[in-house]
Amino acid sequence: MPTKEEVMESLDAVLVPGATRSLVKLNLVRQVAISDQEVNISLASAALNEGTQDWLKAKVRDVTRKLPGVKEAEIGFVKAKPKDLNEIRHVVAVASGKGGVGKSLVTGLLGVSLARWGHEVGILDADITGPSIPKMFGISTRPSGSDSGILPVLSRLGIEIMSINLLLPNEDDAIIWRGPLIGGAIKQFWEEVLWGRLDYLLVDLPPGTADAPLTVMQSLPLSGVVIVFSPQELAAMVVRKAVQMAQKMNIPILGVVENMSYLYVPDTGKRIELFGSSKAQEMVKAAGAPLLGQLPIDPQLARLCDEGDIERYNSEAMNSFAEAFLQAISAKAR
Ligand code: ADP
């Protein structure tokens, strides 16, 4: 007879339709009992419609019966809420004092580096006022699910993505919502989306320091915040406000990132500070947190984002930012 680990291993090869992540990674396996020639498996039905449940039942039975020594396999479903199944090591918010500094892009790049290095990553696009994450990743699939939850959409690299944009009838529909309403919607994304097991869930916050990012921060169990700014930012005051907001809620600031720091000219190897000189030191002081990275303006990056191909981008600057991020989070977790 197989061991429990062997059964789990075979279940890890069963991908849930709609999510294309395995039963194990989605944390849907609730119980595995092995007795004399029989294996009993209990799965959670959260976010799975009836058709998917039937398909999974047949598939799991099939896979399990193929294991050596197994004569019979019984597969059952139990009810569970996504929020009780989600096991996320770190929920990290990405914030900015104002819009247009590239907060979503920085969130996307961080997710891409982490996923390439083998971490399980999800991105919750909470920037409901300008949700640009799905576009960068070239995703327009409507998430599937049932009354008991929603499954995130998987990117090409295997990043779980959820955005209000994916749920709207028309991608271009503008959303004009007040802060508290945004908070409510995000809370739902947190509680009703089956993220499953993740190392990092990156939350792309609405910009600014008004109600909207605040309510989002309050609804999620954040491990920390990353603050994005650009050299165009007129004063460290905006960053300071964001810092105060996080401090008030006892959320550690993991660090700051300067985006559009300079323009790199490949022909000459020169760096041009298009938006004036770096504000990095000023921001580090304002945030009382380290500088995690400085990302250049890169026309190739802008193009890949427009084409929905952010996952094809790779640069030293993005990887060194992601490395500094991992260091900052492990330092805070200690
Ligand atoms: P925010 O989330 O702060 O509102 P976005 O991430 O949506 O901003 O970025 C705004 C626009 O600027 C996007 O079209 C993006 O492609 C572009 N952009 C941002 N950062 C860079 C960069 N480092 N290089 C090239 N284009 C960038």
* Cα–Cα separations (whole angstroms), residue 264 to 121, 260, 270, 274, 312: 29, 10, 6, 10, 19
Q: Could you tell me if 215 and 177 are in contact, meaning their C-beta atoms sit under 8 angstroms apart?
A: no
Q: Render each residue's pLDDT in the chain as its tens digit; 334 residues.
A: 899 999 999 999 999 998 899 999 999 999 999 998 899 999 999 999 999 999 999 999 999 999 999 999 999 999 999 999 999 999 999 998 888 889 999 999 999 999 999 999 999 998 877 778 999 999 988 899 999 999 999 999 999 999 988 877 665 665 666 666 677 778 888 899 999 999 999 999 888 777 777 878 888 899 999 999 888 766 567 777 888 888 888 899 999 999 998 887 778 878 888 777 778 888 898 888 999 999 999 999 999 999 999 999 999 999 999 999 999 999 987 6
β-pair partners for 24: none
Last residue of a domain, one of 56, 80, 104: 80
176 in the same domain as 76: no
50 in the same domain as 126: no
109 lines ligand 1 (CB under 6 A): no
Q: What is the CATH number of the domain that holds 303?
A: 3.40.50.300
Q: What is the CATH number of the domain that holds 47?
A: 3.30.300.130
104 lines ligand 1 (CB under 6 A): yes
175 in the same domain as 93: yes
Question: Collapsing DSSP states into helix, strand and coil, what is residue 55?
Answer: helix
Structure tokens at 278: 């770096």
- The structural domain count of the chain equals 2
Last residue of a domain, one of 53, 80, 107: 80
Question: Collapsing DSSP states into helix, strand and coil, what is residue 92?
Answer: strand
302 in the same domain as 213: yes
Percentage of the chain exceeding pLDDT 90: 65
112 in the same domain as 67: no
118 in the same domain as 144: yes
Residue nearest to atom 6 of ligand 1 (CA): 102
Phi, psi for residue 280 in degrees, rounded to 5: -55, -50
State the distance between the two ends of the chain, measured CA to CA, in whole angstroms.
Answer: 41
297 lines ligand 1 (CB under 6 A): yes
122 in the same domain as 64: no
293 in the same domain as 165: yes
User: pLDDT value at position 195?
Assistant: 97
Domain coverage including residue 51 = 4-80
101 lines ligand 1 (CB under 6 A): yes
15 in the same domain as 59: yes
Last residue of a domain, one of 35, 51, 80: 80
User: pLDDT value at position 66?
Assistant: 94
Q: How far is the CA of 70 from the centre of ligand 1 (A)?
A: 54
102 in the same domain as 245: yes
121 in the same domain as 71: no
308 lines ligand 1 (CB under 6 A): no
Q: How far is the CA of 289 from the centre of ligand 1 (A)?
A: 23
User: pLDDT value at position 207?
Assistant: 84
298 lines ligand 1 (CB under 6 A): yes
Which one, of 49, 51, 43, 32, lies nearest residue 79 by Cα? 43
How does DSSP classify residue 142? P
- Which spans in 121-272 are helix H? 133-136, 164-167, 179-192, 211-219, 236-248
Tell which atom from ligand 1 comes closest to the C-alpha of 105: 6
46 in the same domain as 90: no
